[in-house]
Structure 1
């Protein structure tokens, strides 16, 4: 049986790199993407294609390059994304738009670019990496939650629209994992005169601690491998600590104000 061809956006570091290495070791033909290949001259874990998910012309070039070599694409993993924190009132709207452009519009651009090939093949799997944060409106992380929540919802739409073509869509929502995501995260300035100063400062410290103490990215890679092997993937999957995954269940069963109180107590 011929090895499946996998494309991972944001594959040069963090979760994307961990997923790519794991799938390569399992015998898959893996390609990753990065905005600037020159930054990774010694990267040899798997081939990197130059792509900026916010620039459709670079997506077209990268997909065409992959197809010229492999003549097929079996799995797309939309992993590229950015973090953003801040009180909503004080977060520059340009930064909000940038976050949506990368985390929501970006995956849609890539999906639109690969769907024609997957239709020709009459097969394909798209895994959109969302976040457990996308299931709830977290204080000072609301924009990030909104981008990932929107991606999860649109995945449900795409499942229904493309299933007659033999294409499967699903999401994987990770919790906190030890990666370099903090290095590229936008933080709204912590202003001394801000009415949100104290609570925002506590949240920033908590976020960094959670990432530093997060799980091993290999757990995400293993979950991706599990999903890829499914003949008919579920709508949504999660991976993370028991408490993080259980929070989604609690939101579904508790009265709204009860869950809000739990969330408020946990994030202060």
Structure 2
């Protein structure tokens, strides 16, 4: 059955792959972008939306409802990367990242809920990150913002059950997208006490993205969730070792797991 789907951050990367896949499967897809005119060749319609701007959120959601009379699925995908020693990341950049990765998704959810309650049905998929399951060195702010969204979903799900609205997380590992070029990097300064360790970690992070999995894996995963009557709370998508790292965190003593991460990042 064809569904009306809204995907935030649908102009590139994972969001674009999800949108194209769902479009090809016959769903009616609306993506969003801060500048949709820059993507005239999009396979599906792009609406103007900035997750930091509640007015633009409300207008984009209203456009979908006016056009189709319903909204079946929200894929909260828009997000931003951020790296750096926590001590050296400016406070305004930390707040900006949370505005995009945490508060933005909350506001989009709030905008779609009245329509989903009216329909007595709906599905909200929050795209989080495997990084949100652990505090990663020099990615601590990103881990925290995505981890916050993971936990928020657990609470939100229970509040929405009386309205027949489902919510779930899909956490990707490293995928071959342009996220590295768009994320905030704290400057790598030679006079910083973190210069050597941050530099090594930054190189490793970029290598992981460059050699990451095909984002079509995420598209297939989201398609599977949409076709699941009662979705699970958490889904993880990515390379085996990335998903297995979550299992290790659950079973290993904290300091042993910390040592594994430090060895991995050459700290």
Q: Distance in 2 between matches of 1:15 and 1:235?
A: 20
2:192 is matched with 194
Deviation per residue, 1:21-41 (Å, 9 max, x gap): 00011111100000112222x
Q: Distance in 2 between matches of 1:37 and 1:78?
A: 17
1:118 is matched with 116
TM superposition score normalised by structure 2 = 0.99
In the comparison of the two structures, how many residue pairs are matched? 266
Deviation per residue, 1:197-233 (Å, 9 max, x gap): 0010011101110000000000010000111111000
Q: Distance in 2 between matches of 1:241 and 1:77?
A: 22
SS at the partner of 1:249? helix
Cα RMSD of the aligned pairs, angstroms, is: 0.7
Please point out which of 147, 150, 168 is paired with 2:148. Answer: 150
What residue ranges of structure 1 are gaps of 5+ in the alignment? Answer: none
Please point out which of 50, 64, 67 is paired with 1:66. Answer: 64
1:34 is matched with 33
Q: Distance in 1 between matches of 2:146 and 2:42?
A: 30
Deviation per residue, 1:17-71 (Å, 9 max, x gap): 000000011111100000112222x223100010001100001111111111110
Matching of residue 230 in structure 1 with residue 233 in structure 2:
no
Q: Distance in 2 between matches of 1:123 and 1:140?
A: 40
2:10 is matched with 11
What residue ranges of structure 2 are gaps of 5+ in the alignment? Answer: none
1:22 is matched with 21
Please point out which of 92, 95, 116 is paired with 1:94. Answer: 92
2:172 is matched with 174
1:267 Cα deviation after fit: 1.2
SS at the partner of 1:30? strand
Structure 1 runs (4+) deviating above 3 angstroms are none
Q: Distance in 1 between matches of 2:76 and 2:42?
A: 21
SS at the partner of 1:202? helix
Matching of residue 103 in structure 1 with residue 101 in structure 2:
yes
SS at the partner of 2:236? strand
Please point out which of 44, 48, 51 is paired with 1:50. Answer: 48
Q: Distance in 2 between matches of 1:131 and 1:65?
A: 29
Q: Distance in 1 between matches of 2:69 and 2:176?
A: 35
Q: Distance in 2 between matches of 1:226 and 1:38?
A: 30
Deviation per residue, 1:174-218 (Å, 9 max, x gap): 000000111110000111100000010011101110000000000
2:11·2:42 contact (CA, 8 Å) conserved in 1?
no
1:167 Cα deviation after fit: 0.3
